Structure 1
Amino acid sequence: MKAQTVNTKAVDFYNLMQKLIDDGYDPPEAERKARELTEDLEIAENMKDYWKHIGVAD
């Protein structure tokens, strides 16, 4: 199950990077931006889990 999660994240990252390239970013810049956005999403997911854990969110 862990491999499935990692694989899905890799595909999501690739798709995000491709979208940024399509939007006009050059590949190195698109990769950097995708990493920033992915990191922000992971932080948001971790916070959502935290809020659920302490009983503030459903």
Structure 2
Amino acid sequence: MIVEVPVGFDWDAAMKRLASLPRQQEWEDYMAIFQLVKPGSTAAEKWQPMERIFHLYD
């Protein structure tokens, strides 16, 4: 998945907020079935930022 965010986006803060949402862990556990990850994994444990390698626009 590609996520476009503004310059200076705080990914760690966003993942902490996501983890605190109601029923988020229930959703993560259900998605673990399809993502082949360990149940109980958080979104932050599953998603890893990548280094930008190209720009699609100026």
For the pair shown, the structure with the greater C-alpha radius of gyration is 1
TM-score (norm 2): 0.33
TM-score, normalised to structure 1's length?
0.33
